[in-house]
Amino acid sequence: MKYDQPEASDPDSIASAFRGNEISGLDIFARTQDALEDFPAAIVEQLMSAMNNDIPTGGSDISYGDNDTQYLRFWKARSPGAPVIIFVHGGSWQIGAYLDSIGSAKVTHLLDQGYAFTSVNFSLVPSVTVEVQVQEVAHALGHLTKNAAELGIDPQKFVLMGHSSGAHVVTLLGTDSSYLSEAGVNISNVRGVIAVDGSNYNAMADFMDSPGPVVTNLAFALGKDPARLRAMSPTYHARGVNVGSFLLLHAQRDGGIRQAVEFAAVLEASGTDVDLHVFEGRSFEGHMQMLLRLGEVDFPATAVMDGWLRRHVPVGL
């Protein structure tokens, strides 16, 4: 689905978010306005409505567990033995579902590139803890592994992709192998992680980095105990055994960029391959446009994603 540029109280801000050109060098640290409460409610509602109405078509629902929230939508690749992209939606761990928080452009685009695609539904806070939520997503990978032949996928070529809090989930799975191990999945079978404008890589630091709704939602979902916040922070686990490669795609949100730079440094120090790219689009506008437009051929982050996938998880090899 192709989106028209939405209206906004700051036309230049929304125009840059929609355009999404890459920013390089020290320009990635230019100060921006991050607070969601500073945006008119009508703009937030407009962007959320665009996301919720952008439902991808096709695919089949598959249950991966006994709970009524544990299912996924699976789209077959055009050829058997394909790598599979596994998408984890955002929503501050509390809202959203596997189809209304995904953005259809990426599904169509990646299927056209020859990948299989999966979007995972899971239980939400406060009915479960974030730890349980992460484990549910790991069990979805376990189910895909056990049924790989029937689904026509290569169980040794998984790519985890997540947006917002979903990016937190996939980067945690990519750095703390205990969740995948519990689900019977070898972390080496996850070839890459794509984080789409994530945050909470260093959860405790978010109390300083990202004041406002980010911290409010973080405190609700993860509490304020330092030990738990460290345990749920991908940066703290990145010194150990990681997924082999990470792609961090970020809009202009100060706290998220600072933490992404820190996270990338720890990954690199551990010998893990990581690419970090920042694109135009301030705060919530950039956050949502990156989700909605990733997969559109004229959106700059799409070409970056495609190039990274060809290098690390190519189709047909």
Helix axes 11-19, 283-293, angle to 10 degrees: 30
6 and 86 share a domain?
no
Contact 199, 256 (CB under 8 A): yes
Q: Is the pLDDT of residue 311 over 80?
A: yes
From the list 20, 7, 5, 4, the residue with the least C-alpha distance to 282 is: 20
pLDDT tens for residues 70-114?
Answer: 999 999 999 999 999 999 999 999 999 999 999 999 999 999 999
pLDDT tens for residues 172-210?
Answer: 999 999 999 999 999 999 999 999 999 899 999 999 998
296: number of CA atoms within 13 Å, CB side?
Answer: 18
Q: Which residues contact 7 (CB under 8 A, 6 or more apart)?
A: 14, 43, 46
pLDDT tens for residues 138-180?
Answer: 999 999 999 999 999 999 999 999 999 999 999 999 999 999 9
pLDDT at 39: 61
151 and 220 share a domain?
yes
17 and 140 share a domain?
no
Contact 138, 128 (CB under 8 A): no
pLDDT at 213: 85
41 and 179 share a domain?
no
47 and 76 share a domain?
no
Q: Is the pLDDT of residue 9 over 50?
A: no
Number of domains in the chain: 2
Distance set, CA 4 to CA 158, 292, 297, 303 (Å): 33, 11, 15, 20
pLDDT at 8: 47
Confidence of residue 33 (pLDDT cuts 50, 70, 90): low
Long-range contacts of 296-300 (CB under 8 A, 24+ apart): 296/2, 296/105, 296/109, 297/109, 299/20, 299/105, 300/20, 300/21, 300/22
42 and 169 share a domain?
no
Residue 48 structural domain:
1-21+31-53
Classify residue 8: in a domain, yes or no: yes
36 and 128 share a domain?
no
49 and 67 share a domain?
no
pLDDT tens for residues 260-297?
Answer: 999 999 999 999 999 999 999 988 889 999 999 999 99
239 and 211 share a domain?
yes
Classify residue 222: in a domain, yes or no: yes
Structural tokens at position 235: 């940066």
Contact 247, 194 (CB under 8 A): yes
| CATH number, residue 216 | 3.40.50.1820
Q: What span, in angstroms and rounded, lies between the C-alpha atoms of 315 and 25?
A: 32
